């Protein structure tokens, strides 16, 4: 937060309109008691509205043309909620264009139309101030969610004092508090000037326009939501159409968004970040106006970190998509349609901080630029996997994205998707479900010097490696990336597969959201730390985490004199990966301690190489070429001894070294789909989501899924749903039938 004198703040953000003179009411009006919701209907808002009587501008006049209502007014809605707002939040009073203002007696706050919110707070206690700040921030978050804005303004009234606040995605800039009883002109001048600003000056994004219900664009939106894209008698892209149809149920949330000179039609966001500061990511299933009858596309709107050395996501995808560069086109990544920065929209809070702290070399506030990118693929959340075999195969397929030497650096449950590739073969619709690694906005080329690009950790807290969380000053490496993929695999397995951990909510809180705090910084939670160091995930009273087979499924016997597995084959993969991680962390510990001790680990499973054949034909085709017989020794070295001899240290180094190569890990994944292993995978083994409906994370976490590098307070179950799903619940139910295997 940055604080400025009232006049400096006004000159910077709310300048006087050129050629206009402030009305006499601003200097003559006085107030005898504080403005409160209970008294503002008769005296408060009526007097405020006298300031605004002639406060209109060309933008407002154009919007109001059909109704013929110009100007602005303040309306009290403290006891009413917006029926379209699922959060049910109330705002004491707010400034509206007259033509869209609710009636103060009949309607709640219209969050989609508010120009500026006012909040009245009076309690002086420290605890109450914290609650008030949280509520004010929630108002700002909701306004960003309901509107397309670069910045916004808020007035906070507490007793007879007031502050003016400007919010952007870097931080907030506030005025020093002033007594609006004694100096009502300060509050009046702000409101009057605000109403004379252009829409862009008030924070509205001019590259987004609302689609009117009487327009041809609205007719196109309705038609595309209902009319399938057919190839012969088969519908192509049904899942994308269902997602788009769900997004347009609120007719007020239909927009035309411009990206790099091209227009796209969207409904409500498919995913919307709840974070106020930061990237503020919103994603949409969209119609490309250049190809209005063509496939739906995916549009992401975000505020990228505009620091030196950080490539724009579209530039990274263009490199990965290019067939003519180096290793050629990379599978498992989105296909770029277009991208670009949004005009000159950039945060300003960081510039104010720098001006106020000229001797400080490092500004804690990041510079963010408004940015949009459109890709061809509309993916499914990984939570829609049909069985554990598909969950593993999709994860392995996503590893193909590393073919050209770019580290993603934000592998998370929301960034690893399932994409349905569709084609018509001999008159039949063929669907191939493959992994898709998305959101490359914080990625980094491996041939660039391995130093941190930003002043804090890069990644999403739940899925970052234990090493990165324990060493915040160290840049993430390839082993950290591979470990993040493991955490994503575990995230979905613990929710949708059978296992012996009874309290899934407690597991999610402790393993994924857990943290330790020391001297103001946050570090890896104990459960994840222990799992990576010990090579096993403990279950209280039940030994180690074990995934079980569905009732009635009996793995067939093998032909190599090995008994059939009594537990899920996924346990073998998890044990092999944990063994690699444990070797790495044991070596880290050895480097710190002159007399280290090893970890007692179960022996690795015995696996043999064979040629692929059998029922998982499409999965094996995806894995084709990934398995290298020369690497058959992956994750097969035991290190259960208590004393570390030079020979055993060398063995550990050999095991841990496999984490330095994505190819080695893909080989490990692929080895679980060989001739005999493939029959060990149950075709139907998923269960309904085991995360309790009333789940509330302990102590922390409300992440947006994009480079959230520290835990934060919050309690909504939607946190985990957004991170894993990015989907609307109704659409999820329609698509859930896709779990049924069709092989």
Contact between residue 39 and residue 208 where contact means Cβ atoms under 8 Å apart? no
| Strands 2-4 and 172-175, bridge-based pairing | parallel
Q: CB neighbours of 78 closer than 8 A, spacing ≥ 6?
A: 37, 90, 91, 92, 93
Comparison of pLDDT for 421 and 137, the residue scoring more = 421
Q: CB neighbours of 517 closer than 8 A, spacing ≥ 6?
A: 523
| DSSP code at position 673 | G
Residue 396 host element (H or E) = helix 388-398
Rounded Cα distance between 264 and 256, Å, is: 6
Sign of torsion over alpha carbons 133, 134, 137, 142: negative
The dihedral formed by the CA atoms of 527, 530, 534 and 540, expressed in degrees to the nearest 10: -40
pLDDT of residue 187: 87
Rounded Cα distance between 492 and 721, Å, is: 11
Contact between residue 505 and residue 691 where contact means Cβ atoms under 8 Å apart? yes
Residue 398, CA distances (Å) to 84, 206, 333, 524, 617 in order: 38, 37, 8, 26, 18
Contact between residue 373 and residue 313 where contact means Cβ atoms under 8 Å apart? yes
Comparison of pLDDT for 535 and 623, the residue scoring more = 535
- For residue 264, pLDDT over 50 is answered with yes
Q: Tell me: the pLDDT tens digits for 411-465?
A: 999 999 999 999 999 999 999 999 999 999 999 888 775 554 444 567 899 999 9
**pLDDT tier at 218, thresholds 50, 70, 90:** very high
Residue 392 host element (H or E) = helix 388-398
pLDDT of residue 678: 79
- How much is the CA Rg of the chain, to the nearest whole Å? 28
**pLDDT tier at 593, thresholds 50, 70, 90:** low
The DSSP secondary structure of 590-624, one letter per residue, reads HHH-SS------PPPPP-------SS-HHHHHHHT
Across 488-512, average pLDDT: 96
Instruction: Quote the percentage of the chain above a pLDDT of 70.
Output: 70
Q: Tell me: the pLDDT tens digits for 114-134?
A: 565 555 653 444 555 556 666
pLDDT of residue 740: 33
Rounded Cα distance between 629 and 637, Å, is: 17
Sign of torsion over alpha carbons 353, 354, 359, 363: positive
- Token pair for residue 352? 């104010």
Report the alpha-carbon angle 405-406-410, nearest 5.
Answer: 145
Q: CB neighbours of 688 closer than 8 A, spacing ≥ 6?
A: 496
Task: Give alpha helix (H) positions in 195-330.
Answer: 216-226, 238-247, 313-321
- For residue 181, pLDDT over 70 is answered with yes
Across 634-644, average pLDDT: 41
Mean pLDDT of the chain: 79
Domain residue spans of the chain:
2-194, 307-335+376-550+565-739
User: Of the given ranges (49-63, 174-188, 489-503, 672-686), which has the lowest mean pLDDT?
Assistant: 49-63
The DSSP secondary structure of 144-195, one letter per residue, reads HHHS-BS-EEEEEEETTEEEEEEE-SS-EEEEPPEETTT-HHHHHHHHHHHT
- For residue 703, pLDDT over 50 is answered with no
Comparison of pLDDT for 277 and 344, the residue scoring more = 344
- For residue 495, pLDDT over 70 is answered with yes
Contact between residue 417 and residue 380 where contact means Cβ atoms under 8 Å apart? yes
User: Of the given ranges (256-270, 576-590, 642-656), which has the lowest mean pLDDT?
Assistant: 642-656
Contact between residue 706 and residue 410 where contact means Cβ atoms under 8 Å apart? yes
The DSSP secondary structure of 346-363, one letter per residue, reads E--HHHHHHHH-TT-SS-
Q: Tell me: the pLDDT tens digits for 331-350?
A: 899 999 999 999 999 999 99
- For residue 466, pLDDT over 90 is answered with yes
Confidence (pTM) = 0.82
Q: What is the phi/psi pair of residue 183, to 5°?
A: -130, 65
């Amino acid at each position: 937060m940055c604080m400025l004198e009232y006049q400096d703040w006004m000159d910077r953000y709310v300048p006087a309109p050129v050629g206009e003179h402030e009305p006499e009411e601003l200097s003559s009006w006085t107030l005898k008691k504080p403005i409160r919701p209970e008294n503002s209907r008769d005296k408060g808002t009526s007097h405020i509205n006298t300031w605004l009587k002639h406060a209109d501008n060309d933008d407002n006049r154009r919007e109001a043309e059909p109704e013929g209502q110009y100007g602005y007014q303040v309306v009290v809605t403290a006891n009413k909620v917006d029926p379209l707002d699922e959060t049910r939040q109330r705002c004491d009073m707010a400034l509206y264009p007259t033509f869209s203002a609710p009636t103060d007696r009949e309607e709640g706050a219209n969050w989609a139309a508010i120009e500026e919110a006012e909040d009245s707070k009076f309690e002086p206690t420290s605890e109450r101030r914290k609650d008030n700040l949280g509520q004010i921030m929630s108002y700002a978050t909701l306004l960003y969610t309901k509107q397309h804005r670069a910045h916004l303004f808020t007035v906070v009234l507490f007793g007879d004092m007031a502050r003016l606040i400007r919010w952007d995605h870097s931080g907030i800039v506030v005025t020093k508090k002033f007594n609006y009883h004694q100096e009502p002109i300060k509050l009046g001048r702000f409101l009057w000037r605000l109403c004379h600003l252009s829409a862009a000056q008030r924070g509205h994004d001019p590259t987004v326009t609302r689609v009117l219900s009487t327009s041809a664009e609205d007719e196109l939106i309705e038609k595309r939501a209902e009319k399938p894209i057919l190839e012969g008698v088969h519908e192509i892209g049904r899942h994308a159409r269902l997602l788009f149809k769900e997004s347009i149920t609120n007719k007020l949330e239909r927009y035309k968004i411009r990206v790099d000179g091209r227009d796209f039609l969207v409904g409500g966001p498919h995913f919307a970040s709840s974070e106020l500061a930061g990237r503020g990511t919103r994603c949409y299933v969209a119609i490309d106006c250049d190809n209005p009858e063509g496939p739906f596309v995916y549009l992401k709107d975000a505020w990228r970190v505009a620091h030196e050395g950080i490539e724009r996501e579209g530039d990274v995808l263009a490199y990965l998509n290019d067939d003519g560069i180096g290793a050629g086109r990379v599978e498992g990544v989105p296909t770029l349609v277009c991208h670009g920065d949004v005009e000159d929209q950039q945060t300003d809070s960081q510039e104010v901080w720098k001006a106020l702290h000229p001797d400080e070399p490092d500004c804690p506030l990041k510079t963010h630029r408004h940015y949009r990118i459109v890709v061809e693929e509309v993916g499914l959340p990984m939570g829609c996997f049909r069985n554990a075999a598909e969950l593993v195969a999709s994860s392995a397929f996503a590893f193909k994205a590393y073919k050209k030497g770019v580290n993603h650096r934000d592998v998370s449950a929301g960034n690893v998707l399932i994409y349905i590739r569709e084609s018509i073969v001999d008159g039949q619709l063929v669907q191939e479900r493959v992994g898709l690694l998305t959101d490359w906005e914080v990625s980094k080329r491996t041939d660039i010097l391995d130093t941190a690009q930003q002043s804090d950790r890069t990644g999403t807290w739940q899925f970052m490696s234990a090493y990165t969380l324990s060493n915040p000053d160290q840049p993430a490496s390839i082993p950290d990336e591979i470990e993040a993929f493991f955490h994503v695999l575990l995230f979905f397995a613990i929710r949708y597969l059978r296992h012996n951990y009874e309290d899934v909510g407690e597991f999610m809180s402790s393993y994924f959201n857990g943290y330790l705090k020391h001297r103001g910084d946050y570090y890896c939670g104990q459960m994840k730390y222990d799992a990576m160091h010990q090579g096993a995930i403990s279950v209280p009273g039940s030994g180690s985490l074990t995934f079980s087979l569905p009732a009635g499924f009996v793995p067939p016997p093998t032909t190599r004199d090995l008994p059939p597995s009594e537990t899920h084959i996924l346990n073998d993969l998890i044990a092999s990966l944990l063994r690699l991680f444990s070797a790495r962390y044991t070596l880290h510990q050895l480097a710190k301690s002159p007399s280290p001790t090893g970890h007692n680990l179960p022996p690795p499973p015995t696996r043999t190489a064979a040629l692929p054949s059998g029922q998982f034909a499409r999965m094996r085709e995806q894995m084709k070429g990934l398995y290298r017989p020369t690497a058959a020794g992956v994750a097969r070295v035991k290190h259960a001894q208590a004393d570390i001899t030079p020979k055993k240290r060398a063995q550990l180094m050999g095991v841990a070294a496999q984490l330095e190569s994505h190819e080695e890990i893909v080989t490990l994944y692929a080895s679980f789909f060989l001739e005999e292993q493939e029959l060990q995978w149950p075709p139907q083994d998923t269960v309904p989501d085991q995360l309790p409906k009333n789940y509330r994370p302990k102590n922390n976490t409300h992440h947006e899924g994009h480079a959230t590098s520290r835990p934060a307070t919050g309690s909504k179950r939607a946190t985990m749903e957004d991170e894993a799903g990015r989907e609307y619940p109704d659409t999820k139910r329609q698509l859930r039938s896709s779990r049924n295997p069709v092989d």
